[in-house]
Structures are given as C-alpha cells and as structure tokens.
Structure 1
Amino acid sequence: MVNIVIKERDRFYLSGMKCLLSELFENSQQREIHYFDEFNELSVQEADIVILDLCHGEIHGCIPELKLRGLNIIIGVVDNIKNAPVKKSCFEDIIQVPRDISPAEFKEKVADAWGNRYGAVHYSSKNTCMRCCHKTWSAQQSRIMHLFYQGLSASDVACKLGLSEKTVFSHKYLAMRKFGLETDYQLHSFLRYVQSRGVFL
C-alpha cells in the first residue's frame, strides 16, 4: 500500500494528480493507494509521499507539519522553479515539480523518487527546527505587509505608520526579495497563504 497526503487548492489539478498516481501505482505496480483526508503532522508522519502546492515564497518559510516527517518523498508543485539552492532543513530533499509539467514527466519524477527512496539515507527529523534557517520579516516589514494584505495603498500605509512612501516601498522591496517574490501578484498570493496559516512572519 502507498500512503499519500496531498495539499492542493486546485480541485481539478488534484483530480488529475490522483489519476496519474493511480495509473502509476495501482495499474502499473498493482499497489493500493490510501489518501489521507487531512494535511497535518500525523498524516505527514505516516505518508510515503507528501505532495504540496507551494505558492511563491512558501519554500522559504516554515511548514510546521513537516517537523516530524520520516523517510518519505516530498514533492513540491510550484509555478516556476528557481535554480537557487534550498537551505531550509524541511526542504533539503524536496523534489520541485513545475505546475505545467506534462503528465508523463510528472509520473516519471514520482516513479524515479519512489525507486530511489529505498536507497536513500534516512532523513533525521531531530532538531530540524533548531538548525532551520527559514526566513522572517522584521517587525516593521511585518506591519507593512499586514497593511498591504488589508488592501491599503503604499501612501495609506505611509500615512498610517508615519513613514515616507519611499521607506514603505523600500521595506516592501526587501520583504519581497527575502521570499523570492517578484510581482505584486506573487506577494498577494503569499500574503493570503501566510494569513491562512494564522501567522504573519
């Protein structure tokens, strides 16, 4: 049996992924698939494969559910892949897959990861948070990002915090750069993710 947990917002993409995984494991390898209903620490700990829908910048943040992960395959579905190395300990061995990858390439990546799984060195999850170098915003950047999330313009944020617009834009630029965000769309997508987690970095 193959235990799989998937965190994916797009129901059509999720349905397509399940069809591909079914073709790969149930049809080709005659292995039954069990999908966990929820993405949480327990399901991540028990899963053989964890598939995450990662928005821009999320790979640089902390995902607490991954703290207790064992020897499992982590696949991150991303909008685009940057060649920058991932330093965060939760994501050291993540397999990044672009969202627009072909079905054949997706199955090949999962099959390769599954084949390599048994020869891999065991991933030690002990003290990963102690050596984790995930990024955070300064207190001022966090306040500014929170106000942007609420829909305020740069001039409104500057007025509310008693700063110049230039200072607000500078903080916005630095905050976006920390998480590899290049556009306002990516920033707002990341802010929605952060808000959904109930934390502002």
Structure 2
Amino acid sequence: MLNIAIDDSDSLYRNGMEIFLKEIFLEEQTEPVQINSLNRTNATQVDIIVKSFVAGAEYVCQPLLKHRVKPGVIIGIYDGDESPHHNELPLCIKNIVFINRAEPLSTAREQVIQAWKDNAENAKPLNRKKCLKCKYRTLTPQQVTIAKHLLRGYDIIDIAKLLEIHVKTVSAHKRLMMSKFNLSTDCELLQFLKNLKSHNPPINMFMDRCL
C-alpha cells in the first residue's frame, strides 16, 4: 500500500491530484494507493507528500516535514510563472519537486515518475535535520510586530502611530520582508504572512536567528 498525504486548500485541485496520483501509481507500482490529509501524525510515515506553497513559503521552515526520516517524495504545488526552487531551500524540503498548478498533466506526470524513480534508487533513511545549520529565513522581532498589525488590516500609517515610530521605518521593514521572501505585491505579502501564521510554530518561534 502506497501512502500519500496532501495539504492543499483548493478542494477541486486536490480531488484532481488524488485521481492523478492513483492513476500513476496503480499503473507504475501496480499497488493500491491510500490518500489522507497531511498532519503531524502521518507526515513522518507517508511515502509521498503533496503540499501547496504560497509565494515565499519555500524560504521558511516547514515544521511538519522537518522530522521525516522515511525516504519518500515531496511534491510542492505552486502558482505563478516563477518556480520557487532556489539554491538555499530549507533542509526539510531540499529534494522537493515543484509542480506548477497550471502544469500540463503530461509534464507533471513525467516529473512525479522521475522523482519516484530517483527516490527508489536512493531509498535509505533520511538524516535527522540539523536545524541550526539550516538556511531557512525568518522575521526579526520588529518585523513580527509589524506583520501582526498587517494581518489585522492596518496600513503603514496606522502601524506607525500604534508603535510610535516613523512611517518610513514601517515602510522600510515592509520592503525588507518582501525582499527577504521574494514577494512582489502586498497581496503576496499578506498571503505569505497568513500561511506563516497557520503552518509554523507560535510567532515568537520564527523570529530572526541568523539573518
């Protein structure tokens, strides 16, 4: 039995992905497939993980994935024209395969099959992640404070008044956050912060350690 766990809020896409993966692995592996939602319990045990990534999420720690020791495939689903793959991916997603949500099925199929073959050829237990050596990016304490207010819907003028600092200081921190996580728009920034809040440890746990 091949175990797959999926984390994607788009139910229509998720249903399509489930059918897609079942067809691939029933054909390639000739064995049944069991699919569940990704959670802390199954994250370390499944053979394949499918996880959606908003812009910027590829730079931060992925708590659900960092304790994985069982070899397997991680498939990252993303939107937009620019691939999230870069040379300093966090250790927990170092060997991830990114697939665009608008990818042709034939291309996605080739990527998934190749990733599974590569995994089979290197099927040895994964080393426990050494987080202190990881290059994942985080927020500074001041950026955490500003991020909280942005998520509450305040603009930079409101935030400057609340924190009793100059509006240019708030604006500079906002620009730094967007630059650090390669975000292009305010919409991407808010989506990234919402994702960070919901998927990562308490907000004081992802303050700046090394940047």
> When the two structures are superposed, what TM-score results if normalisation uses the length of structure 1?
0.92
Which residue does 1:94 correspond to in 2? Answer: 96
Check if 1:78 corresponds to 2:63: no
**Counterpart contact for 2:66–2:91, Cα < 8 Å:** no
Listed one character per residue, the Cα deviations across residues 24-74 of structure 1 (whole Å, up to 9, x for unaligned) are 1224542200112x4223312111111111111111111111122121101
Which residue does 2:64 correspond to in 1? Answer: 65
Which residue does 1:51 correspond to in 2? Answer: 50
- Unmatched 5+ stretches in structure 2: 207-211
Q: How far apart are residue 83 of structure 1 and its match?
A: 5.3
Give 3-state SS (helix, strand or coil) of 2:4's partner: strand
Give 3-state SS (helix, strand or coil) of 1:74's partner: strand
Alignment root-mean-square deviation, CA? 1.8
| Residue type of the alignment partner of 2:64 | E
| Residue type of the alignment partner of 1:170 | A
Give 3-state SS (helix, strand or coil) of 2:49's partner: strand
Give 3-state SS (helix, strand or coil) of 1:125's partner: coil
Which residue does 2:209 correspond to in 1? Answer: none
Q: How far apart are residue 19 of structure 1 and its match?
A: 1.3
**Counterpart contact for 2:48–2:73, Cα < 8 Å:** yes
| Residue type of the alignment partner of 2:65 | L
| Residue type of the alignment partner of 2:202 | V
Which residue does 1:24 correspond to in 2? Answer: 24
Q: How far apart are residue 131 of structure 1 and its match?
A: 2.0
Q: How far apart are residue 189 of structure 1 and its match?
A: 0.6
73-82 or 135-144, larger mean C-alpha shift: 73-82
**Counterpart contact for 2:91–2:129, Cα < 8 Å:** no
Check if 1:157 corresponds to 2:159: yes
**Counterpart contact for 1:41–1:68, Cα < 8 Å:** no
> When the two structures are superposed, what TM-score results if normalisation uses the length of structure 2?
0.87
Give 3-state SS (helix, strand or coil) of 2:88's partner: coil
Which residue does 1:168 correspond to in 2? Answer: 170
Distance 1:123 1:182, change over 3 A: farther
Give 3-state SS (helix, strand or coil) of 1:118's partner: helix
| Residue pairs, 1:26-45, within 5 angstroms | 26-27=26-27, 29-36=29-36, 38-45=37-44
Which residue does 1:125 correspond to in 2? Answer: 127
Distance 1:87 1:119, change over 3 A: same
71-80 or 22-31, larger mean C-alpha shift: 22-31
Between the aligned partners of 1:3 and 1:17, the Cα distance in structure 2 is 14
| Residue type of the alignment partner of 2:71 | L
- Unmatched 5+ stretches in structure 1: none
**Counterpart contact for 2:60–2:136, Cα < 8 Å:** yes
Check if 1:139 corresponds to 2:141: yes
122-131 or 56-65, larger mean C-alpha shift: 122-131
| Residue type of the alignment partner of 2:72 | N
Give 3-state SS (helix, strand or coil) of 2:64's partner: helix
Between the aligned partners of 1:52 and 1:25, the Cα distance in structure 2 is 18
Aligned length: 200
